[in-house]
Copies of this chain bind each other. A is one copy, B any other.
Amino acid sequence: MIREGGFDLSGGKRFQPIGVFDSGLGGLTVLRSLHRRLPCEDMIYFGDTARVPYGTKGETTVRSFARQDAGLLVSKGVKMVVVACNTASAFALDYLRETLPVPVLGVIEPGVAAALEATGGGVVGVIGTSGTIRSGRYQEGLLAGGLNQDQVLALECPLLVPLVEEDKMGQTLMHLAVKQYLQPLKDAGVDTLILGCTHYPLLKDDIGEFMGPETVLVDSAEMLAEAAVVMLRSDELLRRDGASESEVSRVGKMSFFLSDLPWKFADVGKRFLGRPIADITIVGLDEMEAAGDQHEGDLP
Contact = CB atoms under 8 A, between A and B. Distances in A.
Interface of A: 49-52, 56-58, 60-61, 64-65, 130-131, 134, 158-159, 162-163, 165-166, 169-170, 172-173, 176-177, 180-181, 259-264, 284-285, 289, 292
Contacts of A134: 263
Given A56-B263, A159-B170, 14 more contacts: A50-B57, A51-B51, A58-B261, A58-B262, A61-B285, A130-B263, A131-B263, A158-B166, A158-B169, A162-B162, A169-B177, A169-B180, A169-B181, A176-B176
A166 B177 CA distance: 12
Chain A contact residues: over half helix, strand or loop, or mixed? Answer: helix
A266 to B, nearest CB: 13
Contacts of A292: 285
A109 B264 CA distance: 27
Contacts of A165: 56
Contacts of A180: 169, 172
26 contacts: A49-B57, A50-B51, A50-B61, A51-B51, A58-B261, A61-B259, A61-B260, A64-B284, A130-B263, A130-B264, A131-B263, A158-B162, A158-B166, A158-B169, A159-B162, A159-B163, A159-B170, A159-B173, A162-B162, A169-B177, A169-B181, A172-B180, A173-B173, A173-B176, A285-B292, A289-B289
Q: How many copies of this chain sit in the oligomeric assembly?
A: 2
A259 B51 CA distance: 12
A25 B161 CA distance: 19
A170 B177 CA distance: 9
A165 to B, nearest CB: 8
Contacts of A264: 130
Contacts of A60: 260
